[in-house]
Amino acid sequence: MSLIQALFYMMSFIALASALFVAATKNLVRSIFMFFVTLFALAGLYVLALADFVAITQIVIYVGGILVLILFAFMLSGKETLNIIAQQRGKFISINKVAAFLLAGLFLLVLLNTFFKVDANHLGWITGSVRANNVITSTSAMTENIGVNLMTKYLLPFEAISILLMVALIGAAHLSRKGEKQ
């Protein structure tokens, strides 16, 4: 087993274990901080998939932006949010959880079955791109290529997403202002 494989298994173990902890724990603050660990491990997985720019963006936007936003929302919404969780503490298994567990487990079975049937390593376009030498190797620097492509081939999605980002910004500011009516 090479070093990169060992790193992959370690990162995916950290990501999955912390995600399971996030799903299982009763403590909301602790689950938010464990989500932090999940996001960092996922950034490590992106690096192992040779997408270093996406990994950096993940750390800057997710860990720096989204997680702080979630923490803010949690802190601002007072202790009522914790009361709901405390009420659930008594019962171990509720119908709600069994149904959710069944749904998630069956969906996992379907997904895994599909993946093993598809055999992604030998898809037509993937073998084609390997033959055409169109594969990112560990020595190729992709950041410049991403910048050039963003301004040429993907200019329309880029503009669309910037408009959507502005709309979301104005919408969020509008929604979270203090109401004048009350």
CA distance 126 to 148: 23
40 forms part of the interface with another protein (CB under 8 A): no
63 forms part of the interface with another protein (CB under 8 A): no
Which of 10, 86, 91, 97 touches another protein by CB under 8 A? 97
CA distance 131 to 146: 22
Which of 78, 90, 93, 181 touches another protein by CB under 8 A? 78
Report, in Å, the least distance between residue 111 CB and another protein. 4
Instruction: Name every residue whose Cβ is closer than 8 Å to that of residue 82 and which is 6 or more positions away in sequence.
Output: 28
Phi, psi for 119 (deg, rounded to 5): 60, 70
Residue 53 contacts residue 76 (beta carbons within 8 Å): no
Report, in Å, the least distance between residue 42 CB and another protein. 5
Report, in Å, the least distance between residue 121 CB and another protein. 5
Residue 107 three-state SS: helix
Interface with another protein in residues 140-169 (CB under 8 A):
140, 142, 145-146, 149-150, 153-154, 157, 161, 164-165, 168-169
